[in-house]
Homo-oligomer: A and B are copies of this chain.
């Protein structure tokens, strides 16, 4: 069965463009459109789309509020991809914080847009999409960049967990991390488990990969 998508954008032109791009795929179906975040809730309830492509800036209710509203009030909410024009849109980070599953640049190539929709539909943690990573790299001292910060906050890593993750990306074992942080090995295990859970990683290797792919750490 196809991936169903709801488009939410105040500009008809953008909606038409997204529709054209997405409908060109035979495994994606655009099931509805809305011109403002305020209209999203009932539409989501009625259409039950797999994915909502949500504009950030809209007149009545912006994408951030709408994202929060959907996630708060709808049962088994759809995946939400935030759509934005600017790469350095602080609003986007807000949206990610609000619980969106990824974001999309309007000027992205059609293939990228399609890819993003498919990925989030599969639940494939677009928590850390390549675009976020690229952003992080661009603005990035890797660690203090707004994107990386957003990623962190989205993953809701605590300070201690982030610290542990950083040491994991340096190849340290649990025992070595424990020695470095001067805590017990069991404590480290607790933190590592928390990191794995929050990043959706199965083991420390996957967590380290995610850290690299997200721009949480930069090579070199």
Chain A residues packing against B (C-beta within 8 Å): 130, 133-134, 137, 168-171, 173, 201-206, 208-209, 212-213, 215, 218-220
Contacts and interface: CB of A to CB of B under 8 A. Distances in A.
Residue among A134, A173, A205, A215 facing the most chain B CB atoms (10 A cut-off): A205
A26 B202 CA distance: 46
27 contacts: A133-B219, A133-B220, A134-B220, A137-B219, A168-B205, A169-B209, A170-B209, A171-B201, A171-B202, A171-B203, A171-B205, A171-B206, A171-B209, A173-B202, A173-B203, A204-B205, A205-B205, A205-B208, A208-B208, A208-B209, A212-B212, A212-B219, A213-B219, A213-B220, A215-B219, A218-B219, A219-B219
Contacts of A213: 219-220
A62 B150 CA distance: 51
Nearest 6 Cβ contacts at the A-B interface: A171-B206, A130-B220, A205-B205, A212-B219, A212-B212, A171-B209
Contacts of A205: 168, 171, 204-205, 208
Contacts of A215: 219
A201 B171 CA distance: 9
Contacts of A133: 219-220
A65 to B, nearest CB: 31
A118 to B, nearest CB: 17
A135 to B, nearest CB: 11
Given A133-B220, A134-B220, A213-B219, 6 more contacts: A130-B220, A137-B219, A173-B202, A205-B205, A208-B208, A208-B209
